[in-house]
Structure 1
Amino acid sequence: MTAQLESPRPDSESTAGLISRHKQTFGFDLGASLVVFLVALPLCVGIAVASGVPAELGIITGVVGGIVVGCLPGSTMQVSGPAAGLTVLVSSAVADHGLATLGVIVLGAGLLQILLGLIGIGTWFRAISPSVVQGMFAGIGLMIILGQIYPVGGMEQPSETSAKFSGLPELLNSLLTTSTGRSGLAIAVVTLLTMTLWGRMPQRLRLIPGPLVGVGVAALLASVLGLPLETIQVGSLLETVNLVTPDAFGGATSFAVLGPILTFALIASAESLFSAAAIDRMHDGPKTRFNTELMAQGAGNTICGLLGALPMTAVIVRSTANLNAGARTKLSRVMHGIWLLLFVMLLPGVLSYIPLATLGALLLHAGWKLLGVRQVAKLLREQRAEAFVLVLTAGVILGTDLLIGTLTGLVAAVIKTAWEVSRLSVEVEHEDEEDHAQVRLHGNATFLRLPQLQDKLEQLPVTSSAHVDMTPVRHLDLACHQAVENWAEQRRKSDCEVELAMPSSR
């Protein structure tokens, strides 16, 4: 009887403990969501402006990334929204096809991501060479930097890379001689310095994100001094929504539109899954299910496409801020989307105090981080072949576009790996005063090493007999096999004795 009276106590204690833990977890997630919201707000607006679309579209993507993707399975800690790495793609797509077609492109990319996740392609993104990934990010960083220095100077950035280079003298003149250029440069420097110095503040102060402090100081300074700078204009989200209509799908099957769809899907998927891999190494919680996360990103982009908004990816900056702020569950990323929505609905006028030059400075900072100068320098010192792939990828991206540059990098990485894997050692020993030669092959005999193999065999004296031992070879491809047999046949026609020991099939 006593046992029956006392048995509920452990249950009630465990329930109380469970409630306490839930309250504590909610507190951590609430605090983290506010930090991520403060980081995401200026970036959502800045990325939209840099992409040449209304600022509201960037916020819509941030809301969808927080609320919709935040609720879906896949990853727990990473946060999705508009990404700086896609600004060049979006700007180019809008310039070539118009804002109305952007929704179709993003929608198509989202559906393609869902398909890729369903057939299990998500896990394959982990097999891409790090030098290609780093080169892709470096190329994107260079393009962002080259484009965003123009808004700092109060000028509209050119659409072509060549024009961005040729316009640098005019930009420099504007920065040094015009009031708008000098003001924009001063505000950009203030923003970047504030962000840098804030990162050295005590930990309790750094709970307020550096980008927010930088934007706040710059906006206050520009307002007090009355600087002649253009500021952000944000209107109603509902009025900005550009729902995809059936008529907009008319050009979706053309190659001109299919190309951007494929590019958006591949780049957004790569950035999201690379971010997931990095974030997984930073926490001990549930790890990302890559195919499921790819489908979640696809669902988010599908909705963004239907709304005519910007494409989304998982973003490493916001995800890191989420972790560092103490997030425990995916609730933090959902709530950050809610705060974005409430802020723009209730306080849109606050954003009108932020100069466009400040957003340019934020994106210059993001581009510099994507460039990864320290990692590139380390790779140049330690692994020159990998560094070549990185520089090639970044250079082709800067000279052409993201898809061509990334594919070029992938091809270069495959060729480099094939060359390194196909190592072949050819040892030649002469016996009986060069009347008999022993030739031994080790490694992988592939067509890539065929010239080396043929040179060694043709250097043997025609008058000597030869024994070619290929049994240690791990792999013998058809080209090398035929080359050795043809060489042996020619030698036998000259009355030379040739013995071939072929590798056993494995």
Structure 2
Amino acid sequence: MIHKPTQYYFRHLKDDIPAGIVVFLVALPLCLGIALASGAPLFSGLIGGLIGGLIVSWLSGSQLAVSGPAAGLTVIIFNAIETLGGFQGVLVACVLAGIMQLMLGFLRAGIIGAFFPAAVIEGMLAAIGLILIIKQIPHATGYHTSYEGDESYMKETAESSFLEVFDAFGGISPGSVVISVVALLLLILWSTAWFKKQKLLKLIPGPLVAVVWGVAYNVVTIQFAPDWAVSGEHLVSLPVSEKAIDFFDNFVLPNADYLSHLSNPHVYTVAVTIAIIASLETLLSLEATDKLDPMKRLAPTNRELKAQGVGNIISGLIGGLPMTAVIVRSAASINAGGQTRIACFTHGVFLLLSVMFFAHYLNYIPLACLAAILLHTGYKLANPVLFKSFYQKGLSQFLPFIITVIAILVTDLLKGMAIGMVIGLFFVIKTNYHAAITLIQDGSHYLLSLNKDVSFLNKALLRKFILSIPEQSTVTIDASKAKFIDHDIMETIEDFLAAAPDSNIKVELIDLHGKDKINKHEAIVILNGDR
């Protein structure tokens, strides 16, 4: 008899396997490109992708997060290779970083992921969507300069992105434009309500159709219209092995030179940097993935840190790049219909099979059709309706959202999120500042309510309200809703009670005496919950 989890995964195979193929098609060139940008062996990027798909997918608590090499680590790795005197030093640092992530998971440090405001998370998603659109236009038009730009948040990339867009239109490849435009139209058509209702068509993901179209177009034009064909530099470029067994020759296993790096203090500095950046990117991506999940499942963050730690340990031991949970690939999986971890695992299986057996054939795929898939994904993440929605929610939601978007575009993911968090925190404090204490007037009677927790941050507002109460008034201070009242607040109220008789102000207290000890004055009437 099939146990329940197995039944669950089997029920979604029809959605997960096609989604996994789509993620594989997106992840393949990115794994190679991130390795290239890091100054590392190209195969190290593929190893990172394989570990993320085949191993981390099962260790992770998320059903939808896709892990692999991340562009956010490229600068760190590139500099570390020079600082540590070679790529093996980075592998040692990767293993150490994985151990640190494991420790963070056991110490329950993943809770920090819950403190990111929704507006900031949505801003991150929108910014990534815009970056995808900006960075994929060169590929879509046949102007190809770098792989790493596909999902990079680096400042130098952001600053040059708009220039690349204009350059792209100056160096158009007709074949790439035809492929990307038709692929986009197919993706849009496939996402319409009518297509989704067709049982047969629903089984075939739009991104897969886009890839088949791109390959078919290029095969035909090479034969009959070479001027309209896509040249080799605009196709997927994967190292081709003569035999499948040659795949294992690319592993870099620990040796004497590998272990000698443990005595280098710089290795530990790099390891700490990788652990911190990779953990933060993972938590941010996990939070964003949960937001995108149609089923609204919540992934355990501590388990995710442990999973990433194990993944980085294994990756570092066999020659792979450090990895994180990656929102770009996770979003691609969700948009392609992925429902469970099988989608991520499938992408890992296809990465393995492609490297071992089908590298030659995969090199026929034009980058333009992959660019169309990512352009479509980017539009979904940065839909204009989302911007309008946050604008309608008011400045307290719109400003953290839009500032996060802008900050990520002009700096990088982590700096942009930090700026967004500061702005978000400001509005949280401001909202709490006004919501914690309210003053309502009814003729000469005033109701001063202390709501929920009242901290020292609310002291200035309390003083302002007290000073606004005129002589000959009756004031009710209602603390029945307050679970905590700071000592500074109690002191301010005591001072008011002491001064109230001088202004002929009568004060009534509701439940305040139960919160803390307070001196009684002749102006006070204690009301224990009933007035």
- Report the TM-score, using the length of structure 1 for normalisation: 0.74
Asked if structure 2 preserves the Cα contact closer than 8 Å seen for 1:79 and 1:322, the reply is no
Asked if structure 2 preserves the Cα contact closer than 8 Å seen for 1:110 and 1:265, the reply is no
Structure 2 distance, partners of 1:215, 1:358, is 6
Backbone CA RMSD of aligned residues: 4.2
Partner residue, 2:28: 45
1:472 and 1:366, CA in 2 relative to 1: closer, same or farther beyond 3 A?
same
Structure 1 distance, partners of 2:129, 2:455, is 38
**Partner amino acid, structure 2, of 1:81:** S
**Partner amino acid, structure 2, of 1:66:** G
Aligned length: 465
Partner residue, 1:477: 486
1:443 aligns with 2:450: yes
Partner residue, 1:426: 439
> Equivalent of 1:253, from 268, 278, 301?
268
Residues 52-451 of structure 1 correspond to what in structure 2 (within 5 A)?
53=36, 56-72=43-59, 74-75=61-62, 77-78=63-64, 80-82=66-68, 86-87=70-71, 89-98=72-81, 100=87, 103=91, 107=95, 110-122=98-110, 125-126=113-114, 128-152=116-140, 153-156=143-146, 161=155, 164-165=158-159, 168-169=162-163, 171-176=165-170, 178-180=171-173, 182-200=174-192, 201=195, 202-223=198-219, 224=221, 225-228=228-231, 230=233, 231-235=235-239, 236=241, 237-238=247-248, 241=251, 245-246=258-259, 250=264, 251-254=266-269, 258-272=272-286, 274-275=288-289, 279=293, 281=295, 291-306=302-317, 307-309=319-321, 311-313=323-325, 315-318=330-333, 321=336, 323=338, 334=345, 336-422=347-433, 423=435, 424-427=437-440, 439-444=446-451, 446-451=455-460
Asked if structure 2 preserves the Cα contact closer than 8 Å seen for 1:154 and 1:184, the reply is no
**Partner amino acid, structure 2, of 1:311:** M
> Runs of 5+ in structure 2 lacking a partner?
222-227, 242-246, 516-531
TM-superposed CA distance for 1:345, in Å, is 0.6
Structure 1 distance, partners of 2:199, 2:93, is 42
1:294 and 1:484, CA in 2 relative to 1: closer, same or farther beyond 3 A?
same
Secondary structure of 2:323's counterpart equals coil
1:209 and 1:70, CA in 2 relative to 1: closer, same or farther beyond 3 A?
same
1:335 and 1:448, CA in 2 relative to 1: closer, same or farther beyond 3 A?
closer
> Runs of 5+ in structure 1 lacking a partner?
1-17, 432-437
Structure 2 distance, partners of 1:418, 1:164, is 31
**Partner amino acid, structure 1, of 2:166:** L
1:148 and 1:331, CA in 2 relative to 1: closer, same or farther beyond 3 A?
closer
Secondary structure of 2:387's counterpart equals helix
Asked if structure 2 preserves the Cα contact closer than 8 Å seen for 1:139 and 1:397, the reply is yes
1:380 and 1:24, CA in 2 relative to 1: closer, same or farther beyond 3 A?
closer
Structure 1 distance, partners of 2:95, 2:6, is 38
**Partner amino acid, structure 1, of 2:181:** V
TM-superposed CA distance for 1:333, in Å, is 5.3
TM-superposed CA distance for 1:95, in Å, is 4.8
TM-superposed CA distance for 1:441, in Å, is 1.1
1:504 aligns with 2:492: no
TM-superposed CA distance for 1:407, in Å, is 2.9
Asked if structure 1 preserves the Cα contact closer than 8 Å seen for 2:53 and 2:68, the reply is no
Could you give the per-residue CA deviations for residues 222-269 of structure 1, whole angstroms, max 9, x where no partner exists? Answer: 442333451222115556556683466643433x76445312211213
Secondary structure of 2:439's counterpart equals strand
TM-superposed CA distance for 1:197, in Å, is 2.8
Asked if structure 1 preserves the Cα contact closer than 8 Å seen for 2:45 and 2:320, the reply is no
**Partner amino acid, structure 1, of 2:418:** L
Asked if structure 1 preserves the Cα contact closer than 8 Å seen for 2:57 and 2:345, the reply is yes
Asked if structure 2 preserves the Cα contact closer than 8 Å seen for 1:268 and 1:313, the reply is yes
1:169 and 1:43, CA in 2 relative to 1: closer, same or farther beyond 3 A?
closer
1:109 and 1:361, CA in 2 relative to 1: closer, same or farther beyond 3 A?
farther
TM-superposed CA distance for 1:353, in Å, is 1.8
- Report the TM-score, using the length of structure 2 for normalisation: 0.71
TM-superposed CA distance for 1:500, in Å, is 6.2
Structure 1 distance, partners of 2:4, 2:125, is 40
TM-superposed CA distance for 1:302, in Å, is 3.0
Comparing 158-167 with 365-374, greater Cα deviation is found at 158-167
The percentage of counterpart residues that share the same residue type is: 23
Structure 2 distance, partners of 1:149, 1:480, is 57
Asked if structure 1 preserves the Cα contact closer than 8 Å seen for 2:175 and 2:229, the reply is no
1:459 and 1:279, CA in 2 relative to 1: closer, same or farther beyond 3 A?
closer
Asked if structure 2 preserves the Cα contact closer than 8 Å seen for 1:52 and 1:94, the reply is no
TM-superposed CA distance for 1:417, in Å, is 2.9
1:175 and 1:316, CA in 2 relative to 1: closer, same or farther beyond 3 A?
closer
1:20 and 1:81, CA in 2 relative to 1: closer, same or farther beyond 3 A?
closer
1:108 and 1:402, CA in 2 relative to 1: closer, same or farther beyond 3 A?
farther
